[in-house]
Amino acid sequence: MLWKMSNSLVLKIISSSINISKQAGVIVRDVMKTGELAVVDKGINDLQTEADRRAQNCIITSLSKQFPKIAIIGEETLDPNDKIDDKWIVNTFDESVFAHKCPDDWLNVADEDIVVWVDPLDGTSEYTQGLLDHVTVLIGVSVKGHAIGGIIHQPFYNYKRPITRSWVEPYGVSKHEEVEDKQGWVSRQFSRRYALPEEYDSDLLNSSLTADGVLVIEAPVIKPVRRVTTGERVVPITHTHHITRNGSK
């Protein structure tokens, strides 16, 4: 194996980090599949999920086992008693890295001169919103305080967010007092279901029913799509006394 023949600690760390980042990416995807993100709010616009915690444990534990003398700094503050799943531990190398020549300045670097920086899930806010193409796993390597290289892994590379639609279901009761039968006044109740274009915010919808039975749905505000919307919303109808002519006001 090429990694055994290499005398470059830097190349070994880069090579190992590539495979470790891939395993961290698997963890990030697996957590998303469960839907149990276990979000912790660390501060303003600063979230942490179960994927952040598991991925960082994977990265730091794997690197520490292979390179016990280097310094490793993770973005997340974790419980040192967290249980690490054995399948998260990576002890392999990306052999393609050793086809490259290590620069002379980094050829004989001591373990104590190296610091590895870890961001296990960059784009946590986007991750919680389902904007998965923004998510990356970052591992950076520095020598004597200078950044020299790193890994950017995209767990959802080429991910295409499915086109989704919000559905609105206006409801209401229209009473036409001019219609009467033996039982009393006739009332009509109906339910309608409409697909809402995804650039409209269903929270801003208004609907009304005119006196002659025309349903009017208004969505006055358009905003960019920022999250995957899969739910439904019931929009109450306001009954007005306005009468439309030929389908228009």
| Cα-based distances in Å from 214 to 170, 203, 244 | 12, 22, 7
CATH architecture of 2-153: 2-Layer Sandwich (3.30)
138 annotated ligand-binding residue = no
Confirm if 165 and 154 have CB atoms less than 8 A apart.
Answer: no
Q: Which pLDDT tens digits describe the chain residue by residue (249 residues)?
A: 555 556 789 999 999 999 999 999 999 999 999 989 999 888 777 899 999 999 999 999 999 999 999 999 999 988 877 888 889 999 999 999 998 888 888 888 999 999 999 999 999 999 998 889 889 999 999 999 999 999 999 999 887 665 444 454 544 444 444 455 566 555 555 555 666 655 556 666 667 666 666 667 776 444 443 444 444 555 555 555 555 555 544
82 annotated ligand-binding residue = no
Confirm if 216 and 247 have CB atoms less than 8 A apart.
Answer: no
Identity at 50, one-letter amino acid code: E
Confirm if 74 and 60 have CB atoms less than 8 A apart.
Answer: yes
Cβ-defined contacts of 208-211 (< 8 Å, 24+): 208/237, 208/238, 208/239, 208/240, 209/172, 209/174, 209/237, 209/238, 209/239, 209/240, 210/240, 210/241, 210/242, 210/243, 210/244, 211/240, 211/241, 211/242, 211/243
Identity at 100, one-letter amino acid code: H
Confirm if 148 and 104 have CB atoms less than 8 A apart.
Answer: no
122 annotated ligand-binding residue = yes
Residues forming the active site: 52, 124
9 annotated ligand-binding residue = no
- What pLDDT was estimated at residue 214? 66
Quick one: tokens of 126?
């986007």
- What pLDDT was estimated at residue 183? 60
- Residue with token string 């219609």: 179
Helix (H) or strand (E) holding 237: strand 237-239
Where exactly are the structural domains of the chain? 2-153, 166-239
